[in-house]
Each structure stands twice: as structure tokens, then as C-alpha cells.
Structure 1
Amino acid sequence: MSDTDLFKDIRPYRDEEVAGAIQRLIRDEEFISAIAHYRFAALSNVGGPIIKALIRLYLSWRWRKLNTVREIQQEVASYMSNMISKTTQGVTYSGLDKLDPNKGYLFISNHRDIAMDPAFVNWGLHTNGFNTVRIAIGDNLLRKPCAAELMRLNKSFIVKRAMKGPREMMKAFSQLSAYLRHSLDENQSIWIAQKEGRAKDGCDKTDPAILKMFYMEGKRQKIPFADYIKTLNLVPVSISYEYDPGDQAKARELYATSTSQGAYEKREFEDVESIVQGIVGQKGRVHVAFGEPLQAEFDNADQLASAIDQQIYANYHLFPTNLLAAGQTLDGHEEEAKVFAQHIAAVPSELKDIVLAMYAKPVENSLHANERV
């Protein structure tokens, strides 16, 4: 069986599949309706069919020459550049000088934003002469066919989470582990979050279960854990946002689970709303710190998770928003303190403490990490 057949249901699209996926998107009613709703909300109720027809015509023209994954990513890069100029006060990077552009790395990062975390990692790699990453994305975000088309066109591969039984889950994770190995053997880098779901409370912590999944292919090949992990070129990545566009939404969810409500049930399209908010919301400054490849001897997943956390905490760029939330007084940052105070004042009173704790937590983690160094 060929590699294509082994991974066809989860891997990103290849060049020869691009044109077909674009045509399916243009014909997809929900995709076109979503564009009409978000871009032409005032007009879509009045002239819906005409607006949709014009969107289809425009996309057919705009995408007529896109035939390869690289061309798709160049198109994404133009949107990314525009988004950065409109919603950030600059994006900075560190650590890339310690990495080899000709190698494939398994980037494991903290997770604050569904779409923007891998997008900012990709932007740093793209603008510094590295190949872009293949992005791990949960199937919970791909319930709509158009979402799956868009993601797989942009080098995303699918992490199957909706498995019903242990045997199915084991099979899915074995396939995923083999795909990670296959990608790295092709010198293709991977981006994957350190745990399932975003860190809504500001505490970035690696789930050892993900690291055990990494090792499944090594275990199948009867390679010791420590030896196999060294071959993965694991690089911890710390992504820091001065302002989190989703801070109130995250706080609302935490508040619901901590009060008499006891549980939080997502609305049907809440993940899509979070993605849109992350893209269009103001982020202030953003910093992405690439750590050093982990090449020490790790006997088990817990040891490895601790080492990943150590780098993510130590490399996390602390903005004045973090330090102010942690109760520090910053001389010479009066304007930033004023802006942050205004930001917190706009938060509903029952969520204020949760939002402040969210921004303060990386300061506590950084202090602990740097004490251990």
C-alpha cells in the first residue's frame, strides 16, 4: 500500500488535488453564505442571491490560477500580511537562528488561539526562509465540508478525536503517529498544540498523552522511548499575545464551569466564531519564541512534558499586560498601564478576576521556570 493510501483520509491535499478542492469550495453554499454574512452583513439580507453570485464570480476569477499548494500559501500570505498590519502592533520572533532550514521539526507549542497560533508560527518560518509547517487540526473543527477543504488546502492534517471505541481510537492515533514520522522523514515540519483545546486560564501545560501518541510509531518499530524521541527534532514554541481577542469568551466559559451552572455547553458554531474573533480581533504585540531541539535522554512522557513546559515558560515573552495583571508596577509604561486598565474596565465585573488571572499566569510560570535553570 502506498503512503498516499495510508494517510489519504487525514493528510493535506497535494498539488493535483488543489483545483478540485477550489471548485468544491466555490460551489459550497455554506461557504459562500458565510462570506456573505461576515463581509456583506448589511446587504446579504436584501440582495442575498445577487451577493452570493458575485462572490462566486469573484472567487472564480481570483483563484483561477491557483494550481499548487505553494500558490495557495502565497495567497494566504497576502491575507496574513494584511491581517498583521490591521490587528497587531507588530510580530517578532526569536530562536530561529538556532534551527536548520533544511530539517523537518516537530514544533509543539502552547495554544491560545485556534487559527492564529499556527499562522504566526508559519509566518515566522515563511519570512525567514524556512518551509511552512503541516498543521495538526482536530476533526471537531471540520464538521462543515468547506472547513475541511480550506484547512487541507493550507497544509493541515486531521487529528481524529470523534472515535467511538478504544480500538478505533488506537487505530487513529497509530495512523497519526506514523504520519508524523512520515512527514519528518520527508523533512516536512509539523505544528501541533501541547494539549487538546486552548489554555483558557493562561496556564500552558503539555499533555503527556500527546507525547505517548508521538511514540506509538517508535514502539511499533521496537525503538526505546529515549532514542525515538531524539529522532523527532522536537522544538517547544512559546506564543505570546499582548492582548487576547478571546479573553472574555474564555473567561465566560471558565465562569460558567466554576459557578452553579457547573458545565459549559458550546453553541453549534462557537468554534467558528472563536476563529473569526482571533483573526479580526486586536492583539497588540505578538512574539513567537522558538526553543531549542530537545535532545536529552527522556525515559518517559512525563519527563518529556516537563522539559517542554520548562522551555515554553522560560521563553514566554512577558508583555506589560502580563506584568500589570500580576500586580507589578512598571515605571515608564504609564500609557500601556492606562490602555490595559481601560481594557479590563470593559470586562464584565464577574469576569474581571478571571481575565486578570489569565494574563498573570505566564508571569508565575516564567518565574518558576527560570528558578529551575
Structure 2
Amino acid sequence: MFDDIRPYRNDEVTAVIQKLINEPALQASIAGIKLPLTYKIFPSLAKLIVKVYFKSRLRKFKCIDDIQKEVAKYLYHLIDTSCSHFSYNGISKIDPNKPSLFISNHRDIVMDVALVNLALYQSGITTVEAAVGDNLLNQPWVSDLMRLNKSFIVKRSEKTKRAMLTASKQLSSYIHYTLSENQQNIWIAQREGRAKDGIDKTNSALISMLLLNKGKETSISEYLTQLNIIPVAISYEFDPCDQDKAKELAAKEATGEYQKSENEDFDSITRGLVGKKGHVHIEFCDPILGDFEDSKAIAQAIDEKIIANYKLYDSNQKAYELLKNTEIEPSDNPLYNRLQQLTNEQKKWLLTMYANPVLAKETLNT
């Protein structure tokens, strides 16, 4: 019933890894990153080197837990090199004996869920199965990699309304089944696509999808208890992709559209992983429980918790202040260097994405 979207199981790991080892496109992708000069001059040799390396490294992986432990090592390294400080709070609000549906704001394609997972892993809590849109899985080997690391597929590219509804019902059923029957934590972003403008707002359609599996005899309050939604506020001092986002937002404002380059998502993933982020904080909020009128009311409750628990940094406050000024002057403000090489419109958007969390908190408190 869920074979086309679920993560791989332990008994599938060996076969999938062998398939990945022999995947030319994956070999080429890694060789282009790790051995760029060799790959340019001797592409076959570079791919062979990658294949031999894969064999020596990946053959030790026999189950999903082996892969998760290796990912954790890589994450520790990433945090050491890209974050000046990583912190989390609110773990006590998570009942380790009751599976949770974590819904977070969405700023980075990979790091959001990776950091949530790391916080859980360090706290002895089961890591999540993570939702990933099929729009990011343009190659079968990318899908294989994600599904090996406890990701399930969200079908976003269905062509008809009927197909989209069928996919939504399947996803809703899968999430409830995974929580209730498999006793497995789940993570999903509060909206499709990153909040490039810094406005963290839950798409009520996401909540409507979650409620599709609710029986008519079950109240919203009862179903929310079963889902055990825990909002998560993820706060980055600096966004490694902020200039790219500013350019996209400025282009959309000027022309009404923006055309992604062929490898733009992959480049964003790479930059988000290795780029400097400064301080990063994760706050786990109280569960969303009680009686709500509809999906919009639930979405609003999630938004309020995420906004209230979002950690503001000096970068947010400085951007808020700078937006009030017509001229951006050099100062000790680390945002200044990020504004270089940008047009005035692009500068406005970069500052706006950092300032919007400040505005959101002000609005929430009024």
C-alpha cells in the first residue's frame, strides 16, 4: 500500500547500497565535487575511484541504524565547521513513549530535519522519518539515498486533481499508520518550499491533508491526540543561501516569475550544508491539543507557537533597523558583507528575510 513512498527497510539496505555503488550518475556527481580536476580530464578514472571508495565505505552498512550512525558523525562534523554554536531546548515536552509528528518552519532543504534529528539522537529519542517532495528527487539514485535515510516521498508532481487527491489520501494514511502502528516519529515542514522571505506560516492545506484520514466518528480533538503534533522553531543566525533567495525574490517582484537553473536545488542543498550559519537553535514546543474549528485554526496555533519560540539574533534586529534607513553603510554589522554584490532591490529582500521574524513577534504580541 505504501511501497512507492515509504523509506527502505533493513532487509532492503544491502541491495539498494549495491545498486548505488554501481550507479554512474551518482559516481559522476560525487567525482565532480570531490575530484573536480581529475573528473574534468579523466572522467572514467574519477568515477572508478569513487566506486572503489563507495565499496570500501558502504559495504559495512547492513541496516538503517548503521546509516543513521554514519550520518550523525557527518552532522557533528558539519556543525563543527559551519555553526559557531548549536543548541536545542524543549526535549522534556516530548514523550519518548508516544510517537510525535514534528512540524517545523522551513529554511533549509536538508539541514532543518537533520538538526532536528541530531537533537533527538543526542537526547536518546528515536529519529524521525522525514517527508521529502518528489520535486527534489529528479534522479532515481537521489530517491534511493533519501529513502535509505528514513525519508518518505511526498508526491507533488501529479498532473490531475484526482491524482493529487489520491496521493494526499495515501500520504495522510501513511503518516497516521506510521505514528500509530509503527510507533515512529515523523517530521514534515509547515509548508512546501522554504520560507525565503523569512515568514514562517503553516499551509492550512497541509493540515487538511493530515485530517483526510480522520474517520467521521472521530473528533478533531481526538485525532490531534493521535497525531501528537509538536511544532518546532528552527532559528539560524545566518542563512548560507540568503543572497540566492534575495535574488530570486527580487526577480519575482520585478518580472512576476523566476526560472530555476538546472542544478539549483542541488547547489542550494550543498550551500546549506557547508555554508556558515553562525548560531543555530531548535526549540521544541508544546503539543497541539484540544478542540479546533478547522485546519486553518490548527495551522494558526502552530504558527503562534513557532513564532513565539523563534530565537531572534542580532542579525534579525540589525536587519530590522537597517530597513528603516535608505542607505546601508559599512559598520561592525556582519550583515554588511552579505549585502555586497547585490542590487538595491536584492539588498531590501535580504534584509527583509532577516527582519520578518522580528515583525512576526511584534504582531503576535500586540
TM-score, normalised to structure 1, is: 0.93
Q: CA deviation at 1:345?
A: 3.5
- Paired with 1:57 and 1:48, the residues of 2 have a C-alpha distance of 14
- Paired with 2:223 and 2:347, the residues of 1 have a C-alpha distance of 45
Q: Which residue does 2:327 correspond to in 1?
A: none
- Paired with 1:132 and 1:70, the residues of 2 have a C-alpha distance of 10
Q: CA deviation at 1:343?
A: 2.7
Which of 207, 211, 214 matches 1:215?
211
**1:7 is paired with a residue of what secondary structure?**
coil
Q: CA deviation at 1:346?
A: 5.1
Q: CA deviation at 1:273?
A: 1.2
* Contact 1:202–1:361, Cα closer than 8 Å, also in 2: yes
- Paired with 2:188 and 2:261, the residues of 1 have a C-alpha distance of 25
Which of 65, 82, 105 matches 1:87?
82
Q: What is the Cα-based RMSD across aligned positions, in Å?
A: 1.7
**Cα distance per residue 1:233-276 (max 9 Å; x no partner):** 001111111110111111111111110x2211112221111111
- Paired with 1:195 and 1:253, the residues of 2 have a C-alpha distance of 18
Q: Greater CA deviation, 23-32 or 147-156? A: 23-32
Residue 153 of structure 1 aligns with an amino acid whose one-letter code is: L
Alignment of 1:273-292 (within 5 A): 273-292=267-286
Matched, 1:200 2:196: yes
Alignment of 1:179-258 (within 5 A): 179-185=174-180, 186-219=182-215, 222-258=217-253
Query: Percent same amino acid at aligned positions?
Result: 43
* Contact 1:324–1:337, Cα closer than 8 Å, also in 2: no
* Contact 1:226–1:300, Cα closer than 8 Å, also in 2: no
Q: CA deviation at 1:348?
A: 4.2
* Contact 2:231–2:286, Cα closer than 8 Å, also in 1: yes
**1:338 is paired with a residue of what secondary structure?**
coil
- Paired with 2:238 and 2:304, the residues of 1 have a C-alpha distance of 23
**2:317 is paired with a residue of what secondary structure?**
helix
Which of 55, 61, 70 matches 2:56?
61
- Paired with 1:361 and 1:36, the residues of 2 have a C-alpha distance of 39
* Contact 2:318–2:333, Cα closer than 8 Å, also in 1: no
Which of 13, 21, 43 matches 2:16?
21
**1:327 is paired with a residue of what secondary structure?**
helix
- Paired with 2:126 and 2:342, the residues of 1 have a C-alpha distance of 40
**2:214 is paired with a residue of what secondary structure?**
helix
Q: CA deviation at 1:146?
A: 1.1
**1:240 is paired with a residue of what secondary structure?**
strand
Q: CA deviation at 1:98?
A: 1.7
Matched, 1:102 2:102: no
User: Given the superposition, is the C-alpha separation of residues 164 and 299 from structure 1 closer, same or farther in structure 2, using an over 3 Å criterion?
Assistant: same
Q: CA deviation at 1:339?
A: 2.3
* Contact 1:320–1:337, Cα closer than 8 Å, also in 2: no
**Cα distance per residue 1:310-330 (max 9 Å; x no partner):** 0010000001100111118xx
Matched, 1:365 2:360: yes
Matched, 1:134 2:132: no
Q: Which residue does 2:288 correspond to in 1?
A: 294
Residue 197 of structure 2 aligns with an amino acid whose one-letter code is: D
Residue 201 of structure 1 aligns with an amino acid whose one-letter code is: D
* Contact 1:84–1:91, Cα closer than 8 Å, also in 2: yes
**Cα distance per residue 1:292-320 (max 9 Å; x no partner):** 01112112011111100000100000011
Residue 268 of structure 1 aligns with an amino acid whose one-letter code is: E
* Contact 1:163–1:169, Cα closer than 8 Å, also in 2: yes
**1:295 is paired with a residue of what secondary structure?**
coil
Which of 313, 319, 322 matches 1:325?
319
- Paired with 2:363 and 2:124, the residues of 1 have a C-alpha distance of 34
User: Given the superposition, is the C-alpha separation of residues 348 and 13 from structure 1 closer, same or farther in structure 2, using an over 3 Å criterion?
Assistant: same
**1:90 is paired with a residue of what secondary structure?**
strand
Q: Which residue does 2:264 correspond to in 1?
A: 270
Q: Which residue does 2:155 correspond to in 1?
A: 160
* Contact 1:226–1:299, Cα closer than 8 Å, also in 2: no
Residue 160 of structure 2 aligns with an amino acid whose one-letter code is: G
Q: CA deviation at 1:344?
A: 2.7
User: Given the superposition, is the C-alpha separation of residues 165 and 54 from structure 1 closer, same or farther in structure 2, using an over 3 Å criterion?
Assistant: same
* Contact 2:190–2:201, Cα closer than 8 Å, also in 1: yes
* Contact 2:315–2:334, Cα closer than 8 Å, also in 1: no
- Paired with 1:135 and 1:56, the residues of 2 have a C-alpha distance of 28
Name stretches of at least 5 consecutive residues in structure 2 with no aligned partner.
323-330
- Paired with 2:281 and 2:237, the residues of 1 have a C-alpha distance of 8
* Contact 2:128–2:186, Cα closer than 8 Å, also in 1: yes
TM-score, normalised to structure 2, is: 0.95
Q: CA deviation at 1:366?
A: 1.4
* Contact 1:87–1:281, Cα closer than 8 Å, also in 2: yes
Residue 306 of structure 1 aligns with an amino acid whose one-letter code is: Q
- Paired with 1:353 and 1:127, the residues of 2 have a C-alpha distance of 38
Q: CA deviation at 1:337?
A: 4.2
Q: Which residue does 1:304 correspond to in 2?
A: 298
Name stretches of at least 5 consecutive residues in structure 1 with no aligned partner.
1-5, 329-335
**2:48 is paired with a residue of what secondary structure?**
helix
Aligned residues: 359
